[in-house]
Amino acid sequence: MSRHSALTGRSWVIPVVVVAVAAVVIALLLWPGGDEDSSRAGSAGSEPNRAESAPTDVVTPGEQEDGTQDSQTQDFSFVETHEEEDPLALGPVDAPVTMVVFSDYQCPYCASWSQDTLPAMMDYVEAGDLRIEWRDLNVYGPPSVRASKAAYAAGVQDSFMEYHHELFPEGEHLAEDQLTREALVGLAGDLGLDVETFREDMTSQKTADQIETNSSLGTDLGLYSTPGFVIDGEPMVGAQPTEQFTQRVDQALVDAGA
C-alpha cells in the first residue's frame, strides 16, 4: 500500500509505448504539438488545443489491453543524467529511484500535476528516496522557452523550486503576457534573486544550449506533448492520480531494496 493517500485524481491520458527497430519511442497523444522554431518549440500561432486534451482511458506502460504485462517493456533509465550540479534537479544524485519529468510551463495538466502530485513526490525527495530531474519540452512555443530558461536561471541560484511554483501558481499556468522576458526577470526580483545575474544566465548561450538539449531529449524519444514521466526507467504518461505515482515509486523502492 502506498505511503501516501491519493489526492483528488484525474484519469486523463492514454499512454502509448511504441517499439521501433533499433529505437524505442514514447508516443504521447494528449494533443498535437506546434511547429518547431529554432528552439524546437511550436510557433505561437500553432498552439495545441488545450480543450481537446481530456483522455478517455488510462493504460499503464507495459500493460496490454487485457491487463497483462508486456514482457518486452523497455528500460528508459538512459534519460536520467544524475549530474551533481543540475539546476533543474532535486534530491540526492544517488537516490535509489529517479523520476524524469517532461513538462511545459504553459501546459495546464503540468500545472495541475505540480499542485496535486508534486507535494507527495517531494516527501520522497526529502526522505532521500527520490531524485527528480525536469526536462522541459516547450511544445507551446516561445513563451514556454523563455519560462524554461528563466527556471533554469533561477536554478543556478538554487531557487528552481521556488521559481517553478511561481510559474504554476495554485495549479494554474501563467498567461503569455506574464511570460515576457521582463516579467520573468521581475518575478526573479520578487523572489529576492540577484536580478542582474539572473538576467545574464537567462539570456546566455549556455542556458539556451542546455534548454535545447533538454527539449531534444524528449522529442528524440518521440515525446510531443506533456506531461510525461520516466520513473525508475519506466515511462508514465499524463497527470494521472497521485496514487499512481506513489505506487510506482513505492514499487521501485522495493525493487531497489531501499
Per-residue pLDDT tens digits for 75-113: 888 889 999 999 999 999 999 999 999 999 999 999 999
Neighbours of 51 (CB within 10 A): 8
Contact 205, 212 (CB under 8 A): no
What residue segments make up the domains of the chain, in order of their start? 15-256
Q: 151 versus 33: which is more confidently predicted?
A: 151
The pLDDT score that the predictor gives to residue 223 is 81
Per-residue pLDDT tens digits for 159-177: 999 999 999 999 999 999 9
pTM recorded for the entire structure = 0.73
Is the pLDDT assigned to residue 185 strictly greater than 80? yes
Q: If we measure between CA atoms, which residue out of 20, 25, 43 comes closest to residue 33? A: 43
* Cell (9 digits) for 158: 538554487
Task: Give the CA count within 13 Å in the CB-facing half-sphere of 224.
Answer: 15
What CA–CA distance (Å, rounded) separates 202 from 198? Answer: 6
CATH number for the domain formed by residue range(s) 15-256: 3.40.30.10
Is the pLDDT assigned to residue 14 strictly greater than 60? no
